[in-house]
Structure 1
Amino acid sequence: MTDPKTLKSAAEMVARNAAHVVGESAAYRKARNALAAEEIELRRHIERVAEQRRALPPGAPIAKDYRFQGREGEVGLAELFGGKDTLIVYSFMYGPQRKQGCPMCTSQMSAWNGIARHVSQRAGFVMTARSPIARILAWGEEQNWKHLRLYADSSGDYTREFVSAEDADMPGYNVFRRQNGTVHHFWRGEGGRETADPGQDPHDAPDMSALWTLLDTTPEGRGEDWYPKLSDR
């Protein structure tokens, strides 16, 4: 891991930064520089966490052949890697009981749709839900998801073991790694209401949603009770 002792202080780095906005006040610049130092420390902390994540020992070996239904038919978990050694599987909330997909999941996946073909240069990247594949594909068509690989966990075996033992309609983010011919579980998002701070919605850090990342740069922020809707109206 990066040795913090070899890094320049954030305050020193900010002092050398000539950034400014025309017409800004001295009070604004002082506050903005203080914020910039915190942003540098945040960036460093995010990288330390990422290094710690990458250093995890091999996770549980996957012995079961989980099966999924895709556009071209049935495939196993190992086939979802797409020739890569790493696989990201996002389970989204679109069970048979839902009339429409979860707005938050849909928002997040719509953002991922734009980068999916770039992510796939380094890792397999697939989405799965508990509805029949025809229904999932129809939802993808409606959302104009041209680059997302969509699959149905028809049996629910994968969902019960890696998302919810009760097969609840909830999201799940799991990463798998193939080493020496064996697939291992690597990491999953484990944030939830038990790990949320008072007044905050539970989410992982760093946040997987570009929506929240963008809104966090605005004066209003993400809000305490606002969530995206499926319609702009």
Structure 2
Amino acid sequence: MAYNANLIPAAELSAKNKARFPNESPEYREARNHLLTEEIELRRHVERVAAHRRALPPGGEIPEDYVFEGSNGAVRLSQLFGDKDTLVIYSMMFGPQRERACPMCTAMLTSWDGTARNLRERVALAVTARSPIKRLLDFKRERGWQNLQIYSDLKGDYTRSYISPDDGDIPGLTVFARGGGKVRHFWSGEMNDEMADPGEDPRGAPDLDSLWTILDLTPSGRGATWYPKLEYPSLATIT
């Protein structure tokens, strides 16, 4: 969708809202319509940012065709594209120094596993980490991931070039584009701890994990101290 600068004011659109719910007060409806105006503006800002991103000049050509280890052996970055012109790579926090994978990365990738079935119709998607491939594939089986393609960057050349120059075990999302016989860097998430707002965990925008997007819709929000875990106590069966 192309961004359209000739838009009806958001407040004018929200004034057309006919939604009403049982026993709501006039104060609730007034506040909700005001919030609706802000939500329309947020949607438009997301579109503006996406349009700016798509308009980026060509990024730098990759300095080498990095080699990863997959379930069937060595594979180069250019091969990860398959028949697509765009490649999305997520680098998860699961280096050899970690006993277990990062719970935050795991939670997000679990939601991505379902999305990947549709996403791969438009772009290629790969997940990489610095641990040996057997360890990564064992974890993939443990989590029940069916659609994510996992690769090991055991040598770390790709990680040091595009994620962390000092080979830190940090997450990263990078998008590459292929055209004219070349593979170029298109975009990477660049928000870090130094760019976090007061009282907030460092994160990029838009949020890549639907977990947080849904919690943002709830009365208590994301919470100040709650984070995903790899395992939770068994829940009683709801009848």
Do the structures match in fold with TM over 0.5? Answer: yes
Whether the 8 Å contact between 1:126 and 1:150 is mirrored in structure 2 is yes
1:145-198 CA distances to partner (integer Å, 9 max, x unpaired)? 011000000110000111011111110100000011100000000111111000
Whether the 8 Å contact between 2:67 and 2:75 is mirrored in structure 1 is yes
Normalised by the length of structure 2, the TM-score is: 0.95
Aligned residues: 232
Q: How far apart in 2 are the matches of 1:82 and 1:170? A: 26
Q: How far apart in 1 are the matches of 2:158 and 2:4? A: 39
Whether the 8 Å contact between 1:68 and 1:76 is mirrored in structure 2 is yes
1:116-161 CA distances to partner (integer Å, 9 max, x unpaired)? 0111101110000000000000000000001100000011000011
Q: How far apart in 2 are the matches of 1:226 and 1:22? A: 32
1:9-49 CA distances to partner (integer Å, 9 max, x unpaired)? 11111111211212111110000000000000000000000
Aligned to 1:170: 170
SS in 2 for 1:61: coil
Aligned to 1:58: 58
Aligned to 1:147: 147
Aligned to 1:24: 24
Normalised by the length of structure 1, the TM-score is: 0.98
Structure 2 counterparts to residues 7-156 of structure 1, below 5 A: 7-156=7-156
Partner amino acid, structure 2, of 1:231: E
Q: How far apart in 2 are the matches of 1:44 and 1:127? A: 30
Partner amino acid, structure 1, of 2:41: E
SS in 2 for 1:184: strand
Whether the 8 Å contact between 1:133 and 1:151 is mirrored in structure 2 is yes
Give me the identity figure in percent: 53
Whether the 8 Å contact between 1:201 and 1:224 is mirrored in structure 2 is no
Whether the 8 Å contact between 2:17 and 2:33 is mirrored in structure 1 is no
Give RMSD over aligned pairs: 0.9
1:205 aligned to 2:205? yes
